[in-house]
């Protein structure tokens, strides 16, 4: 019992375990009950799944606003802690959802490269979520330790976010060439890999060409899973600094991350077909990253350290995020409307 009441990152261990247990339960309902059989997830079902996760994310926001007990050390002011926490939670949730949108395109490339049948794609995404939950916990734990021990690291985050925003617009480093991927070559050089996908298994037993004995082979589904996890780690390098610029509360950082990942992965089957219609979203995201980076410099440098300017409250970041991302999405839909009509015709 002492272990459960002990504190980690400003919150009791039991709260962290309760949240993780809830997420594991949702995943069990997903694969264990609702999607036990391999089947193609229709856009309608994908939208329902996303709406369910979005509703849960909204309800969790209500918990943050009315029940959650924020640790004052992670907030700029000791007043209205729950109000600050809920604004930061929804800002983080929207930001992480938008940043992860590019991941949809990368996952689509991975599935195409490995010729993953549509009825098996949900299974790969499901196990990819488990990996994302684990790796995000590591990144966020390290980030929280660094940021809350050395606040000046936020300036490095600010510079990184501004540079990432520029990189996103210019297109530098955005290409993904799986045929030249070093991680993929490393795995293939050290594991037996079959080129066939016969079922939803990540590993199968096949006769060894030399001995004739049945040995374990990895399937293209396993390689696809490895690349999905690798892509998530790459995106985490951008997204974790971005959300620490919004909030320093590790519990808010982690929960908003996980709800965003759950929602977007469930929406994959609807977004994958329409990803080209959001071609201008990256410009909105780039501006969000630049503004968040600038906000760090404004609040921690110009306001707190020098006292030259007033402190920008968290709700301004939420409003800017909604305006820029929403505007970029609406503009994308407007500019690509003719393409959508021609494809239907």
Q: What is the pLDDT of residues 305-321, one digit of tens each?
A: 777 888 777 677 778 88
More confident residue, 148 or 57: 57
pLDDT at 144: 83
Work out whether the CA dihedral 282, 285, 291, 295 comes out positive or negative: negative
**C-alpha span between 87 and 117 (Å, rounded):** 40
pLDDT at 1: 57
pLDDT at 19: 94
For residue 159 the two structure tokens come to 């510079």
Of 8-22, 254-268, 295-309, the range with the highest mean pLDDT is 8-22
Q: What is the pLDDT of residues 260-291, one digit of tens each?
A: 888 877 777 777 666 667 778 778 888 888 88
Closest CA to 40 of 239, 269, 344: 269
Q: Is 31 exposed, middle or buried, given 0-12, 13-18 or 19+ CB atoms closer than 10 A? A: middle
Contact 194, 213 (CB under 8 A): no
């Amino acid at each position: 019992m002492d272990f459960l009441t002990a504190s980690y990152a400003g919150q009791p261990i039991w709260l962290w375990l309760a949240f993780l247990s809830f997420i594991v339960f949702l995943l069990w309902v997903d694969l264990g009950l609702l999607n036990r059989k391999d089947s193609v997830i229709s856009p309608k079902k994908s939208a329902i799944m996303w709406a369910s996760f979005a509703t849960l994310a909204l309800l969790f926001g209500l918990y943050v606003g009315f029940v959650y007990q924020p640790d004052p050390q992670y907030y700029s002011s000791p007043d209205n802690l729950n109000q600050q926490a809920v604004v930061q939670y929804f800002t983080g949730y929207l930001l992480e959802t938008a940043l992860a949108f590019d991941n949809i395109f990368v996952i689509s490339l991975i599935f195409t490269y490995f010729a993953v049948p549509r009825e098996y794609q949900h299974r790969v995404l499901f196990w990819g979520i488990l990996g994302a939950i684990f790796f995000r916990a590591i990144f966020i734990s390290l980030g929280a330790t660094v940021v809350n021990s050395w606040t000046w690291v936020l300036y490095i985050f600010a510079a990184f976010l501004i540079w990432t925003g520029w990189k996103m617009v210019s297109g530098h480093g955005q290409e993904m060439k799986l045929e030249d991927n070093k991680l993929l070559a490393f795995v293939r050089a050290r594991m037996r890999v079959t080129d066939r996908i016969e079922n939803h298994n990540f590993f199968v037993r096949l006769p060894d060409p030399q001995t004739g004995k049945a040995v374990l082979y990895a399937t293209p589904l396993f390689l696809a899973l490895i690349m999905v996890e690798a892509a998530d780690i790459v995106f985490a390098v951008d997204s974790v600094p971005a959300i620490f610029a919004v909030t320093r509360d590790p519990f808010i950082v982690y929960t908003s991350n996980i709800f965003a990942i759950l929602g977007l992965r469930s929406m994959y089957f609807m977004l994958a077909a329409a990803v080209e219609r959001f071609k201008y979203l990256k410009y909105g995201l780039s501006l969000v990253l630049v503004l968040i980076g600038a906000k760090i410099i404004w609040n921690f440098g110009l306001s707190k350290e020098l006292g030259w300017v007033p402190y920008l409250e968290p709700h301004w970041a939420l409003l800017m995020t909604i305006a820029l991302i929403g505007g970029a999405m609406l503009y994308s839909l407007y500019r690509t409307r003719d393409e959508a009509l021609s494809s239907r015709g």
